[in-house]
Amino acid sequence: MVDTTLIRKVLVANRGEIAVRIIRACRELGGIHTVAVYSEADREALHVRYADEAYNIGRPAPRESYLSIEKLLDVARRSGADAVHPGYGFLSERAEFAQAVIDAGLTWIGPSPDAITKMGDKLAAREIMQKAGVPVVPGTPPGLNNGALRHEADKIGYPLMVKAAAGGGGKGMRIVRDPDQLVAALASAHREAEAAFGDGTIYLEKLLEGARHIEFQVLADEHGNTIHLGERECSIQRRHQKLFEESPSPFMDDDLRAKMGTAAVSAAQAVNYVNAGTIEFLVTPEKEFYFLEMNTRLQVEHPVTEIVTGIDLVKEQIRIARGRRMGPVDGVTVSGWAVECRINAEDPYNNFLPSVGEVTVHIAPTGPGIRLDSGIYAGYEVTPYYDSMLAKLIAWGETRGEALLRMRRALSEYKIMGLKTNLPFHQKLIDSTRFLAGRYDTQFVDGFMDMQGDTSSAEIDRVEAAAILATLVEHEQRQRALQFASTNGPNRDMSSWKRSARRW
């Protein structure tokens, strides 16, 4: 492909720290202007202030703003954007959005709609991987009803996982350790998957006890180049949500890394993948690995790969979307160690209940080897409408020990006041001798990181549901009062100068 695709203005179809991250990459490439979108709840958000232009796209609920393909394309048309970057979450892995962008004559900064479709359905992805010779976790074929699933469960053996075919983030996922639990797990997983993704299809997989969650970053261009950029260890999770990542993994050796890297490249090539993506694996204590899924987008944890390789993944995404040959074709060198803590608005002492309110104090850690990807500032209002992640704190060192010591120092410096955060969780994690020794798996948080006492899980679920509901009601009442008093129309667009002048 000839390098003729021009990108002068990018619509960033996202919010928060990832939107800020994309805006910065565009600015560093030179000559690329950025367009932000924001809901009424995000009028004062950092990404709105940083972009060259910003447009209101509706009410706080994602389905009325950030998930509205029609509104996003309307902003692209009005602003004169010629490309769209979806970030992660929201519409980033929706093939219909990618196709709509392409049909509108815009450049989609991501993989093809066909690749998104193939890898977005976990059952279809399993079949593709099997044909490509990539190991997959033992499980059921697609299209089985509940009766057949119960029959197959006995063949697979317990414990096992009930999983949704569509989506991710732990939705529609259940662990079943006993046959008596299966019927209820199938029913609840089906309901949750239908509600979250509009697709209630589920399947079964063998639960790999003691497994680690290790993923490989892949990069591919339209000139036939497909490479991997090493691995990320993502086993520190709670309810299948990642909390801490590092690169490289303390579990890996050179032989296993070579085998998994080759499998990751084969997986990407099997769907003619172009742009940045991630192949996720489960790895047993015996170092047997199995394909888990492919994320056809930029990952939250991409900074650890950027730091150890020196490669800016967002810039590479844009270069590849332009039709150019990616930069690191001749090989990737990994230098040192990087670790990342996801800083969430959650109370770790109260079952990680979401926390909302105004950030009254925000003192960011700095110093050698420290990077902070953040979407907040003092005076920023955290709302209950979106994911609880506020920032990502990353530390680099020549060794894992140095990186962790720097992270410990940075965590002690980081001050966020006005609401609860999970900073105490990360401080406790860094002080865990078992964690420091690298002896952990995906069950580590549940088994070794209890921060809330002996409250029963049923009582915790009831308290959590009630607290979330109360928080949402209180915030909506506050928003109604603010809207009533506001003189700004719901669709008023602002230049960056006017936006900055309001409160900055």
DSSP helix, strand, coil percent of the chain (3-state; round to 5): 40, 25, 35
Distance from C-alpha of 497 to C-alpha of 504, rounded to nearest angstrom = 10
Would you tell me the crossing angle of helices 302-309 and 313-321 to the nearest 10 degrees? 90
Pairing of strands 9-12, 83-85: parallel
CA gap 41, 479 in Å, rounded: 8
Task: Answer yes or no: 439 catalytic.
Answer: no
Q: What count of residues does the chain have?
A: 504
Q: Is 137 within 8 Å of 124 (Cβ atoms)?
A: no
Encoding tokens for residue 346?
A: 């959650």
Q: CA quadruple 366, 357, 299, 53: dihedral positive or negative?
A: negative
Cα–Cα dist 182/462, whole Å: 23
Taking each helix axis from N to C end, the angle separating 69-79 and 95-103, rounded to the nearest 10 degrees, works out to 30
Spatial contact of 79 and 9, defined as CB atoms under 8 Å apart:
yes
| Catalytic option among 15, 232, 297, 371 | 297
CB 410 within 8 A of CB 393: yes
Angle, alpha carbons 130-131-134 (nearest 5°): 45
Rounded to whole angstroms, the Cα distance separating 273 from 278 reads: 11
- H/E/C letters for each residue in 340-409? EEEEECEECCCCCEECCEECCEEECCCCCCEEEEECCCCCCEECCCCCCEEEEEEEEECCHHHHHHHHHH
* Phi, psi for residue 108 in degrees, rounded to 5: -90, 120
The answer to whether 84 and 108 are in contact (CB under 8 A) is: yes
Q: Report which of 402, 403, 409, 336 is spatially closest to residue 366, judged by C-alpha positions.
A: 409
Distance, CA of 445 to CA of 239 (rounded, Å) = 9
Whether 242 and 300 have beta carbons less than 8 Å apart is answered as yes
What is the distance between the alpha carbons of residues 371 and 410, in angstroms, rounded to a whole number?
10
How does strand 107-108 pair with strand 83-85?
Answer: parallel
Cβ contact 47:20 at 8 Å: yes
**What is the Rg, in whole angstroms, of the alpha carbon atoms belonging to the chain?**
22
In the 8-state DSSP scheme, what is residue 205?
E
Determine the Cα–Cα distance for residues 289 and 269; give it in Å rounded to an integer.
19
The catalytic residues are: 297
